A = this chain, B = another copy of it.
């Protein structure tokens, strides 16, 4: 008889569907662990909730997410609602004794993130954030390469994250341009590169950020123009101990669709990666004759675990949604008491701390050193 784990899902948008797919595929892909039982789905609109429950094969639907939190058959809760709700829902779920899988960014304000982290610690439950890019088998490979000394001691890092969904200056003003939504690209994007940095190298110890607005205003539905309050672009200098770095994020970068570009330089080589070609990594090793040195392009293959759980042949390619399946599996492993590859709320809080320090450095126009009390 198979072991099961009861799943609740709050939110059925982009990430909600992505979680649903991950819960569905984790067991057939990995073969091991409990079978997720799709117990309860919450979505503000009850008709939509019912429709999605039918599509995703959830047993029950509700318009009130608290129904789900109080359902004793739900053991783990996926939170995929807008950021403003994360704290309330995550804290409630943890207090109700559920494990939590919450989408990023953690919360809108730092104090909310702190509250979430405290609730997680107090609960003794597993609480993780949806930083799926660290789950790419090739990102794991990059970590292994660095750890094995393949490029020597890292001394410089550059990270870029760019998309173009805010690139059109004539696209209508919406909530992402309101100050209430956060800083802009800094919290919308920067958290992803920070999750990669943390996983591969470490958390920044000092930051200097500059945010900018490509467009001062945007058109509104009534034909006027409204002043943009958030920054679609942020450029950051940082240090991770003695490692220097540059982080550039831009959500109005025409032509970039899902670029998360890493350049990691070490004393004996370098590694280059771009999420837009997520099945490739490049490594340069400063060994052998100069005539034979050059970047090597490594294509994702079964040797890069757990690619093999999806496809037993190299070069066929994983997709974005597969990363979420891996994340789900790592969550299940963590719940089972293993050491999963996850960004838990404690780690997530440090990412938030960095983002807020960046924003502060922008205001102060100077470096901000980041103290990390818990670490």
Contacts and interface: CB of A to CB of B under 8 A. Distances in A.
A322 B321 CA distance: 9
B294 A298 contact: yes
A7 interface: no
A269 B289 contact: no
A174 interface: no
A296 to B, nearest CB: 4
A305 B49 CA distance: 25
Nearest to A294: B298
A73 to B, nearest CB: 18
Nearest to A214: B155
Nearest to A250: B156
A31 interface: yes
Contacts of A320: 310-311, 316-319
A252 B265 contact: yes
A186 interface: no
A313 interface: yes
Q: How many copies does the complex hold?
A: 4
Given A276-B315, A317-B258, A17 B21 contact: no
Given A297-B297, A313-B14, A156 B212 contact: yes
Contact of A299 (B257, B314, B366): B257
B256 A246 contact: no
Nearest to A234: B244
A291 B286 contact: no
B24 A17 contact: no
Given A253-B270, A270-B253, A291-B301, A258 B315 contact: yes
A33 B289 CA distance: 29
Contact of A210 (B2, B237, B259, B279): B237
Given A255-B294, A311-B319, 19 more contacts: A14-B311, A14-B313, A28-B57, A35-B57, A152-B169, A156-B250, A167-B267, A208-B210, A212-B244, A233-B244, A246-B248, A255-B270, A255-B272, A257-B299, A257-B301, A257-B313, A279-B317, A294-B297, A317-B318
10 contacts: A28-B57, A167-B267, A169-B267, A210-B244, A246-B246, A256-B270, A258-B299, A258-B313, A258-B317, A293-B298
Interface of A: 2, 14, 17-18, 20-21, 24-25, 27-29, 31, 35, 51, 54-57, 141, 151-152, 155-156, 158, 160, 163-165, 167-169, 208, 210, 212, 214-215, 233, 235, 237, 239, 244-246, 248, 250, 252-259, 265-270, 272, 276-279, 284, 286, 289-299, 301-304, 310-322, 365-367
Pairs A-B, 9 closest by C-beta atoms: A257-B315, A319-B319, A255-B284, A258-B315, A291-B303, A155-B214, A294-B298, A212-B244, A316-B320
